[in-house]
Structure formats: structure tokens, C-alpha cells
Amino acid sequence: MQHEAKAARTVKEDRTDYLTEERYGHTAAHATMALTGTEWGVTTWNTRPRSVGRVTVCASNGPFAFQESISPVEARLIAQALLMAADDAEKAIDAAYVQDEVTA
């Protein structure tokens, strides 16, 4: 495999990154999603007075780039929604797989 993305804390002097991607011996502060090629980043800031206590979420794909700084409460709400959606999506995949086995 040429690259590996993972969720892990990477602490730097001015910030902490939470998604990293190892590619060709270099570590990037984002994770690239295989299906879409979208790069995602999640960061907290250690030294920027206006950003301390905020979570910055970034997404970029080609010319499109989105960045938003949100509160910890908002970050937790979005994380909970993503976990619930992931659970439901996995259940739908499992149900479709079982249905395919039954009809075969």
C-alpha cells in the first residue's frame, strides 16, 4: 500500500492534527478518502489566541475547499451524528448482504 490514513494525535508547536496520512515516507495532516479523493483534516490550535478551544474541520477536493472552526460542543454533536450514520450504513450493508444470500 502506498499510503495509510489514520486517526491519531500529531502534536506540533502551534497545533494538534487528528487525521494523518503516511505517503511515501512523509506524514501529511489530512486523510484522503479512497472513493472520492477528498482530503479531510481535523485540527485544534495551541497558540492562536482567537482559535484556542476551537476545532477546525477542513475538506478539499480539486478546486473545492471548505474550512470551518467549531466549538467542542458542535464537534461532539457532529461526531455523534457521524457515528450513528456509520452504524446505520453498516447495518444496511449487512442486511443487503443477507438478503442476497437468501435469494441466491
CA 44/CA 34 separation, integer angstroms: 25
pLDDT, residue 1, reads 40
31-79 pLDDT tens trace? 998 888 999 999 999 888 888 999 999 999 999 999 999 999 999 999 9
Q: Cβ of 86: how many Cβ atoms within 10 Å?
A: 10
Could you tell me what percent of the chain has a pLDDT over 90?
62
Question: Which amino acid makes up residue 72?
Answer: P
CA 50/CA 85 separation, integer angstroms: 32
- For the whole model, what pTM was predicted? 0.80
2 confidence band (pLDDT: 50, 70, 90): low
